[in-house]
Amino acid sequence: MGIAHFELSSRTERDITAIKEVALRHIQDVSYESLKVETRRTDKTFPLTSPQVSAEVGGYLVTKTGTRADMHNPDLVCWVKITHNAAYISTEKIPGVGGLPVGVSGKVLVMLSGGIDSPVAAWQMIKRGAKAVFVHFYSYPYTDKASLEKVIELAQILAVPNYRSTVYLVPFAELQQIIVAATPSPFRVLLYRRMMTRIAQRVATMENAEALVTGESLGQVASQTLTNLRSIEAIADIPILRPLIGEDKAEIIEKAQRIGTFDVSTRPHQDCCSLFVPKHPATRASVTDLADAESGLDVDTLVEEALNNLEKRVVG
Ligand code: ATP
Ligand code: MG
């Protein structure tokens, strides 16, 4: 059934006649014995009030179809919505995505990996009114370029509710090699994550973003235990938001399918975090473990060098 709509002509009598005819056509295949018309105007300059439109259209439908009007318990409700330039007619209420207008909640920097979870995390924040900017770390030439292409496409998909997307691309391979050479292997993923977080924070400052967002979900992989999340977060000075923290993979996949990111996310790519990591990474690395493991690294210089090689793309 869906929604029927047409442009208004600015001639009230003609518009009311059109609303009546379109409404009659729209309800002709439905079976009912009683009906009610409910009108909403988003444009209050339309010369008839909402109750007047409902009465006119309702009277017409009842006469034409030989049914009766029922204001309290109708079999069928016919909704009429009048905007500044169009009328919409439907017999069902179709829920929208909900949420808040993009930007009213400020700006966040989303760490976008190319996987399933982070685009969904971004979407949850955009839905709550945050403007999202993205950062992606890649290990090319040690991995292929697929993650870069995927991240650009994902940012484009997310740009629909978000208007336009800015994506920062950070080459990460050199830094990973330095970490590999200087630190114990069970901590590598967590040390990658801490470096990513430090670099992302600087990008957030450049962009006036007030929080980082990740697609982490409690217990999903070894790096996402409470202890490990805490040890990553220990070096952050701005909030790290994790909108998917309490969601199961199946729920996340269902959302990814609904928002249209799933097919891009599931295309194969080589994840930078799986590079040079052991089969059994630490599941409980304390803040001190990681600080000790990093003690041989010149963290500040490594962050500056990464920022020097930052590339900015605007998509959407
Ligand atoms: P995703 O499905 O989003 O890839 P995941 O389940 O694979 O998540 P991890 O690989 O542990 O989980 O990554 C956790 C989070 O860290 C991601 O959701 C993302 O926010 C961030 N992240 C991981 N890798 C990258 C990357 N290469 N660039 C930017 N952010 C990343
Ligand atoms: Mg991933």
pLDDT (tens, 9 = 90+) of the chain, 316 residues, equals 688 999 999 889 999 999 999 999 999 988 899 999 999 998 888 999 999 999 999 999 999 999 999 999 999 999 999 998 999 999 988 788 888 888 889 999 999 999 999 999 999 999 999 999 999 999 998 888 899 999 999 999 999 766 789 999 999 999 999 999 999 999 999 999 999 999 999 999 999 999 999 999 999 888 899 999 999 999 999 999 999 999 999 999 999 999 999 999 999 888 877 777 888 889 999 999 999 999 999 999 999 999 999 999 999 8
pLDDT of residue 309: 95
Which ligand gives the minimal distance to the CA of 155? 1
Beta bridge partners of 131: 107
- Distance separating alpha carbons of residues 278 and 188, to the nearest angstrom: 8
**Would you mind telling me the total number of residues written for the chain in this entry?**
316
pLDDT of residue 161: 67
Q: Which residue has the tokens 């409404």?
A: 23
Q: Is 54 in the pocket of ligand 1 (CB under 6 A)?
A: no
Contact 172, 272 (CB under 8 A): yes
**Residue 66: which residues within 8 A CB-CB, separation 6 or more?**
none
Determine how β-strand 86-90 pairs with β-strand 165-171.
Answer: unpaired
pLDDT of residue 288: 97
Phi then psi for residue 213, to 5 deg, are -130, 135
Could you give the strand order of the β-sheet that contains 107-111, starting from the edge strand earlier in sequence?
240-241, 212-213, 107-111, 131-138, 165-171, 311-315
DSSP state of 265: H
Q: How close is the Cα of 114 to the center of ligand 2, in Å?
A: 7
- Distance separating alpha carbons of residues 103 and 130, to the nearest angstrom: 5
Phi then psi for residue 38, to 5 deg, are -120, 125
DSSP state of 40: E
| Single pTM value for the model | 0.83
Cα separation values, 46 from 17, 22, 54, 116, Å:
14, 18, 13, 46
Q: How close is the Cα of 216 to the center of ligand 2, in Å?
A: 9
Q: How close is the Cα of 85 to the center of ligand 2, in Å?
A: 45
Q: Is 112 in the pocket of ligand 1 (CB under 6 A)?
A: yes
pLDDT of residue 87: 94
Q: Measured on CA atoms in the order 279, 214, 245, 95, is the torsion positive or negative?
A: negative
pLDDT of residue 97: 80
- Distance separating alpha carbons of residues 139 and 160, to the nearest angstrom: 28
Which ligand gives the minimal distance to the CA of 190? 1
pLDDT of residue 295: 95
DSSP state of 277: -
Cα separation values, 121 from 23, 118, 246, Å:
40, 5, 12
R_g (Cα) of the chain, nearest Å: 27
pLDDT of residue 1: 67
